[in-house]
């Protein structure tokens, strides 16, 4: 459980660093003016996380005892989607299993 919490926080930190790097790049190419991340992302929706966790659970054959793993992977996926949406990217991020979270 502690490992999952740590992995979830590490992923959030990596996404935050990536967003900052993209913002810096965007600022440097737009002469210092950017709207890319002008507002902070809204809090993660527990309904969205729960729906994503259920989908992961179902995709894996509904295993028992992995609810925390599914929740944290879903939380990372929803966070990724939120960042992509704020950046104007409408493409769906890779599922957690495709980015090494399974």
- pLDDT tens readout for residues 63-102: 999 998 999 899 889 988 888 887 776 555 555 554 444 4
Q: Residue 11: pLDDT above 90? A: no
In this prediction, residue 60 has a pLDDT band, given cuts at 50, 70 and 90, of very high
Asked, for residue 87, whether it belongs to a domain, the answer is: yes
Asked, for residue 46, whether it belongs to a domain, the answer is: yes
The per-residue pLDDT for range 13-38, each reduced to its tens digit, is: 888 888 777 777 766 665 554 444 44
Token pair listed for 92: 């769906």
Domain extent at residue 75: 2-32+42-99
Three-class secondary structure of residue 92 per DSSP: coil
Asked, for residue 28, whether it belongs to a domain, the answer is: yes
Residue 26: per-residue pLDDT: 64
Closest CA to 18 of 94, 80, 89: 80
Residue 35: per-residue pLDDT: 46
Query: How many domains are there within the chain?
Result: 1
Could you identify the residue written with the tokens 């459980």?
A: 1
Asked, for residue 37, whether it belongs to a domain, the answer is: no
């Amino acid at each position: 459980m502690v490992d999952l919490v740590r992995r979830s926080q590490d992923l959030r930190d990596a996404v935050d660093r990536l967003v900052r790097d993209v913002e810096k790049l965007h600022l440097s190419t737009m002469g210092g003016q950017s709207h890319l991340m002008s507002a902070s992302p809204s809090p993660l929706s527990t309904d969205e996380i729960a729906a994503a966790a259920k989908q992961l659970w179902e995709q894996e054959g509904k295993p028992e005892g992995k609810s925390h793993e599914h929740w944290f992977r879903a939380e990372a996926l929803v966070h990724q989607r939120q960042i992509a949406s704020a950046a104007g990217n409408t493409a769906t991020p890779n599922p957690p299993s495709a980015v090494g979270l399974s």
